[in-house]
Amino acid sequence: MRAGDFTTDDALGACVVILVAIDGLGSYANDDTRFTHPVLDTLLFTTAERELGLEPGRLRDGG
């Protein structure tokens, strides 16, 4: 945020949301039951981009 790379009114809130998304996706990795859906491929990227005020695709595309 100090460098101007991210914009948010609530950095701690953004951090919590991103960490919950990471934790939630991690629970699927340790589950015996396989659950797949295309939204899971980009969920963390779209969540982080939204929370950090980045344009869609910025993190996903390496950018």
Provide the residue-wise pLDDT of the chain in tens; the chain has 63 residues. Answer: 888 888 999 999 999 999 999 998 888 777 767 778 888 889 999 999 999 999 999 998 766
pLDDT at res. 19:
96
For residue 61, the one-letter residue type is D
Tally helices (H) and strands (E) across the chain. Answer: 2, 0
* pTM of the predicted structure, to 2 decimals: 0.80
pLDDT at res. 31:
74
Burial 31-57, CB ≥16 within 10 A → b, else e: eeeeeeeeeeeeebbbbbbebbebeee
pLDDT at res. 63:
60
Angle between helix 11-29 and helix 39-51 axes, rounded to 10 deg: 170
pLDDT at res. 12:
95
Residue 35 is encoded by which pair of tokens? 């659950």
